[in-house]
Every structure is written in C-alpha cells, then in structure tokens.
Amino acid sequence: MQTAEISRRYIDFFAERGHTVVPSASLVSDDPTLLFTVAGMVPFVPYLTGVVPAPYPRAVDVQKCIRTNDIEEVGKTARHGTFFQMLGNWSFGDYFKEGAITYAWDLLTRSEADGGLGFAERDLWVTVYETDDEAAALWKRIAGLPDERIQRMGKADNYWHTGQPGPGGPCSEIYVDRGPQYGRDGGPIVDDNRFTEIWNLVFMQELITEVRSKEDFRVVGPLPQKNIDTGMGLERVAFLKQGLDNMYETDQVRPVLDRASELSGRRYGADHDDDVRMRIIADHVRSSLMLMSDGVRPSNEGRGYILRRLLRRSIRSMRLLGVDGPSFAELFAASRDAMQSGYPEVATEFPRLSQIAIAEEETFLNTLSAGTTILDLAVAKTKQAGSPQLAGDTAFLLHDTYGFPIDLTLEMAEEAGLEVDRPAFDSLMSDQRARAKADAKSKKQTLADLSAYSPFRSLGETVFTGYTDLVTDSSVLGILVDGHAVPAAVAGQTAEIILGATSLYAESGGQMPDKGRIVGDGFVLDVLDVQKPVPGLISHTVKVVSGEVGVGVPARSEVDADYRRGATQAHSGTHLVHAALRQVLGPDAHQAGSLNRAGYLRLDFGWNKALSGDTRSEIEEIANNAIRDNLEVVTREMPLDEAKALGAMALFGEKYGDVVRVVDIGGPWSRELCAGTHVSTSAEVGMINLIGESSVGATSRRVESLVGIEAFRQFAAERALVNELTSNLKTRPDQLVDRVGELVANLKAAEKKIQAYEAKALSERVPTLADRAGRVGAYLLVAEHVGTLASGDELRSLATAVRGRLGDAASVVALTAEVSGRPVAIVATSPAARDAGANAGALAKQMASTLGGGGGGKPDLAQGGGSDLGAIPAALDAVRVELGR
C-alpha cells in the first residue's frame, strides 16, 4: 500500500464520520517558542487550550512535521526521521476516550477491501498511562484485548505534551508486533523494536506549566473542555504495510537513497556504514526540500541553521560515500518526484528550491576545501610540535567558524596519524549549547503565557477598523501587566491593552505596527507596539502617560496619520518594486521577505547574483512609471482558491486563512495576497528611490528604498551636494563627472610622481646605509633608525636593497622607522648570515618585544612593530647584543 493511499484512506475514514478535513499547516510554526511544527497538535494548540474557539467540533488532517532532537539516530534505526507526516483525528469537546479508541480499532483492523488498513488483531498491542483504568477497560470492552496485551507505563512513555507550557494529558499508544525475527516477545514494555508504535491517542484534559523535562512539569488544572489529539506516523504505517524493515525504503524516501547509491557506485545493503549514510541522505534531502517549500532558507541562525545543517550533513554523507563533487541537482529531483503527489508545490516551485539547494552545496563544497587547508596546517603544526593529538579548540574553531563537521575532522586527523582532543571539543560544544539554551530560555520567559489571553479571545475576534478609519471608539476588554490580568494601570506603567475594536494596525506581513495613542476619560496611553499574540486577538503595548485606565471603560484608538500615510506608501511601494523586479528579472525573482515602515521599504527576493547599475535603474524607473500612471489600487476579500486562480501571489513563509485579502495595483500588473494597509492609487506612493542592493545569502538579494517624502529629501540632499561641487569646481552639472574624472586622473599622476621621487630618495640612501655596516661577531651588521616613512613596505624595500648592496657577506640589516606614529622594525639576513646562525624572524620578534608589540617572519626577512617610539634605540641595541653573543 503506497504512502499516499494510506493517507487517503485515513482522511476518508474520518471525513465519513463527521470530521472536517483540515489542510496541513506550514512547517514554520506560529508558536513563538517553537522553530518548527514538531507535532501534529501544534497548529491546534489554541483550540485545545480553549484560547481560540474551535471552528469545528471534530477534524482530521495530515500534518507535516520536523523534529531534529534525535538527528544523530537518523539512518541507524528503523523509524527515526527528521521530516515526518502525522495523521491526526481531533475532537474539541466532542467525543473523548471511548470514541477515539473505537475509531482507531475500527480503522486499523477493518479489511483493506472495506477501506481499512487491514492489520491483524493478533498483532496489535496497546499501552496506557499507569493510573488510567478507564482506558484499559475500554480497550478490553471495545477491542477485546486480553490484559497481557494492555501494558501500563509512566509519564516518560504515556503522558504527552509538546515540551512547552500548554495542553497535555495521558495517552494510549498502539503497537504492531513485527514478529520474533525483530526481537524478544513480551510487548512494547520489553522490546520497542519488535513492537513498533504507530498511533498515539492523547486524552487532552490538563493545562501544564513549568516544564523542565518529559516527566517534570506542573499541572495547572483541567482544560476548559476535554479534547482528543491523536497522531499516527504515516511513515511507520507505510513501511509496515509495504513489508519493509524501515521508513527509509518506503516509496516516498527510497528514490533518493537509490540515486545516492547510483551516484556513489556503492550498493545499498552491502555495507552497514554505507547504508546509514544513504539513509541520512534520503531523509535529509527530503526534509530540506519540504522546509524550503515552506519558505525556509539556509542561514546561520534559527530555522535557517537547522536547514543548513541538514544540507551539510547530506553533503558530508555523500563525501563519505566517495562523491566529492556536486550531487544535489539529481538528489533533489529524485525527492521532488517522490513527494509531488502529496505536495504539488514541490514540483511547481522546484526551479526555485533546487537553485537554493545547489547554491548551498556549492558554498559548502568551497567551505570544505578551505577547511581542509586550515586543518592541514593545524595537522602539520601538531606534528612539528611532536604532539599525537590535535587540539580540541582547533576542532571547535573548524566546526563553529567554518562549518567543518567534527566527524570529518576526526576522519582526516586519523588519516594523518593523529587523534583529536575530543573531550576538549565536547566541552566547548557543551558550553556553546548551554549559552544558547540559556539565551533561548530567557527569550521564552519574556513571552506572556498565551492562556492569559483566553478570556479576551473567548469574547470574539478583535475588530480591525484601520482599513477605513484612523479613529475608532471601543472599550477596554482587558489589561495585562507582566503577563497577568489586572483591573487597572496607572501613569508610568507599561501594560498590554485589549480593545474590542481598534484602528491601530498590528505588525504583520512585513509592515511595522502603527504609531498612535489610546485615549479616554481621564487617561492618555502612548502606543509602543501592536501585535497579534493569538489568532484573532490584537494587543496594544502602551505606556500610561497620564491618568488611570481600567477594564470596561470606553477608549478611543487614534492612529498617527502621518506615520500611517508613510507606512501605506511603503507597503504599496513594496508591491510596485516586487512587480518591477519580476518584470525585469523574471518569475524567479520572488519576494522572500520584506519590511515596511514610514518612508522606507526593504525587500528580499530570490536571485543569485548582484544587480548591475543599469538593472537597478530599470527597476526603479518601472516602479516610478507605475506611480506616474496613477494605477488604481483595489482590495478584495475572497476564498483562497479563488484568489490563487486569479493569479494572486502568495508569499512563502506567510500563512493564509480560507478567506484572504487580495491587493491589485493596476489590475493584474501587481496582484498579491496581503493584509497590509495600502494607498488608494499608485500616485499616492509619491516616489521610489532605490538606495541599496546587497546579498543576504547565496540565493537571496535585498533591495532597499526610500519612499515618498523621504525619497524626495534624499534627492534634494544629493542635488545640494551637486550644486556645492559644481560651484567649488567651477563647472556645469552636466560636466561634473568629466571634471571629477579629470581631477582624479591628475591626482593619480601626481601620486605616481611622488612615489617615483620617494623611491629615488630611498635608493639614494642605500649606499650610505651600507657604508655604515660594522662587524659584530661573525656578522656584518647595519642597525639604523631611518626616520619617518609612509609605509612598512618602503622600509622593507630599503632593508632588502641594503642587504643586496652588501653582497655575499654574512650580513644582517636591522632597520627601524616611524610609520603612522608607531615604530616598525624590519630584519633582513643574507644566506651566509643564516648559515652562521642568524634568524631574521627571531631577531624581529625580539625587537618588537622591546618596542612593546609583536612580530616575526621567515629566517631571511621578518617584520615587527610596537607602540613605544622611545624604545627604538634599545631595540637596535638588542640586535647588536644578540649577534655579538
């Protein structure tokens, strides 16, 4: 049974039983404490906690998930994968334990001919929470399971939560006995390899907090209603129904594994280590493809870092299979073909996704090359010092700074006959993780407990009136101070204010929040921030300027009209620039992020090379022509599918509901899904002035622009500068470029003449310095201070010229000079002097130490410097003393 067929049967079974079919949420979680959607329940947490009323009593879905906490186990076990799909059926205050158990047993044991999954009843075992007598009794009554096939376990195994404060509850897990060839008999409590978990029925009934571990947390109390959250691992069911030993050989994963085998020439099944590497590649390539399809891009932090790690582990595994060159083009194509039946977007967006992957591969292959060079030098120095062990801090530097995998460092060090100080490396890694964990924990603690918003959200959604009104009368529904509800806030306090309706825009879609204030009878509040902490609720962070504000009192939200005008100009300007980019560069130049505030816009887009000056000018001109043409801006609300059928662009990483807002500028010329505020006609944008274009990654560029009055002010400032230059240079504006070019050419010619004069003056000093050579021990020594020079290079040239003047003698030339107010020393030695024991590097280091600095170099030529000009005579004497020993 193919993976897609299992998914279809699951959805159909529950849809026929009154469950609303819900599409998968993005892998990028809305939960600020999570990087990714790590479990099927994550998108439903607001409904499970009761913070947001559920729009349906029961639901069914197939949720995409990413989990990397067990990444080191990928490829080694039958069921560990970083990307997985969770089949779930949900009840929000509807059915509970009896219904969940009845549905699960029916679907699992119903014959394939009747639309079920066809598992044999004799092969199914279950576990329940150690004190859950009710669940155990239901399994006996509904499924007829004997006591020995109902096993009880503690919190570590049979209590479910996300690892964060929120909903939780006891659970009942269903296992399949794979047979004696996979391990010992006795059920999952004895061997969870032979007995493989496929489905977890979670009885969500409690709100937990202070989560310290899987087993250590505090139960706050019961949830407002009892809910059902189930999760059945699609990949696990697939490998069981396809008669396989592991998830890596299923129909959605095996094609990548096979392609890795073909590219490497290694046969899958011939060598355990190679098999693990091919499984890692198959898993990580699929996970990376799915992450990128949801808008994640490789970077050095957050989600992007996880993606980068997956990609680099894939490259590393290919290298260990003997493939040193690029392979992503073929590996990702194989994953696309395997996944597109379930996720059509990976095919339609594949040109963009593959471009990102291939660019990251190219970058890391270069990193591996650079890291190898650094490692080779470290190995050479370690051997030279006679040590059998490469320092742990060197391995950490390679890993942390250059992205060089530790296992590659271990392998290459072993090839050179060295070990790596692994305890030191692990200690440094542990310190880094502790710092990161502490930082993440501190950030999480600053977030309000979302349950605090539940009473306000239960009153309905906050009405946003700001599309049409800048002033709105409403009332204060709630006040939060330090995350806790309070009856009032007084002058000087910072608080969160929840209104029934507001004209103030909450930050979203790249548009920064409105500025403004909230006023009422006897109080004035300055608005510091406006956010949506939970779906449908708008919260205003305010500073109480005067008076006292209380719950239930009338309040008026007032938007700063000048700021809003600038913000709408910037947001509409972003749409214009985006349309112009796509017109000039093509559809691959897709927006990947933006920031809009009054007078300024920033837009990131997919592209892999810098824009020429002519291209930037063309984009700017197209955007400003659209402003000149005074295109009509129309906003409409419609179903998402209808909007996409009209060609409205959805931006990657953004999340949309069933009904979306479509913003047209000039009809289809620019048509995007957008909840931001916009001008009425394009002429109101005023002006676009592109001020910058830069790289933000291997496959992303960024343009920045001033908008409206800020764009005009920039042009006015540049005009004033041009006027000043033309006045000073006594030329016309149209001749300014030629005049400046002429001055630059004259300056370069003058500098060249000066350099020639200085070089001649230096060469004329060579004979005099050589004539001052004196015998010190076995050496002919020139030790002189030559005064002030323009650069250390001039001093170096002078020293080597004097050394040449002295011929074949055993000569040492030690010169000092003042360069930019600091002492510099150069030592040059002849071959005969080096044969006699003189070492320029050692002498320069000694001089630099006397000068209060550092230095060194090769035995024939070395340089040093310091900060103490008064120590120059002592530094020259140090050379005389050393050579006279």
Please state, in angstroms and rounded to a whole number, the distance separating the CA atoms of residues 463 and 756.
76
Q: Is the separation of the CB atoms in 824 and 817 below 8 Å?
A: yes
DSSP state of 39: S
The secondary structure of 447-466 as a DSSP string is SPPGGGGHHHHTT-PPEE-T
Q: Which of 86, 134, 143, 83 is nearest to 109 (CA)?
A: 143
DSSP state of 655: -
Give the residue carrying structure tokens 């140090």.
Answer: 878
Please state, in angstroms and rounded to a whole number, the distance separating the CA atoms of residues 672 and 231.
35
Please state, in angstroms and rounded to a whole number, the distance separating the CA atoms of residues 504 and 540.
9
Please state, in angstroms and rounded to a whole number, the distance separating the CA atoms of residues 854 and 818.
16
Give the residue carrying structure tokens 């309040």.
Answer: 555
Token digits of residue 585 = 């560069």
For the stretch 33-59, what's the b/e string if a residue is b when 16 or more beta carbons lie within 10 angstroms of its beta carbon?
A: ebbbbbbbbbbbbbbbbbbbebeeebb
User: What phi and psi, each to the nearest 5 degrees, are found at residue 203?
Assistant: -100, 90
Say whether 737 sits in a helix, a strand or coil. Answer: helix
Torsional sign, CA 55, 58, 60, 61: positive
Q: Is the separation of the CB atoms in 102 and 142 below 8 Å?
A: yes
Q: Which of 285, 373, 267 is nearest to 321 (CA)?
A: 267
* Strands annotated E in 448-538: 463-464, 471-481, 484-486, 488-490, 494-499, 501-502, 516-520, 523-531
- Taking only Cα atoms into account, the Rg of the chain, rounded to an integer number of angstroms, comes to 35
Please state, in angstroms and rounded to a whole number, the distance separating the CA atoms of residues 262 and 22.
39
Q: Which of 501, 486, 484, 489 is nearest to 537 (CA)?
A: 501
The phi-psi region of residue 375 (left if phi > 0; otherwise alpha if psi is between -120 and 50; otherwise beta) is alpha
For the stretch 357-382, what's the b/e string if a residue is b when 16 or more beta carbons lie within 10 angstroms of its beta carbon?
A: bbbbbebbeeebeebbeebeebbeeb
User: What phi and psi, each to the nearest 5 degrees, are found at residue 131?
Assistant: -110, 10
Burial of 415 (0-12, 13-18, 19+ CB in 10 A): exposed
Burial of 176 (0-12, 13-18, 19+ CB in 10 A): buried
Q: Is the separation of the CB atoms in 285 and 361 below 8 Å?
A: no
User: Is 571 labelled as part of a ligand binding site?
Assistant: yes
Which H helix or E strand runs over 774? strand 774-776
User: Is 575 labelled as part of a ligand binding site?
Assistant: yes
The secondary structure of 133-198 as a DSSP string is HHHHHHHHHHH---GGGEEEE-HHHHEE--SSSEEEEEEEEEEEE--GGGS-SS-TTT-TTTEEEE
Please state, in angstroms and rounded to a whole number, the distance separating the CA atoms of residues 75 and 314.
12
Please state, in angstroms and rounded to a whole number, the distance separating the CA atoms of residues 727 and 740.
13
Q: Is the separation of the CB atoms in 45 and 161 below 8 Å?
A: no
Amino acid 35 reads: L
Extract the annotated binding site: 571, 575, 674, 678
Give binding residues for Zn(2+) as ranges. Answer: 571, 575, 674, 678
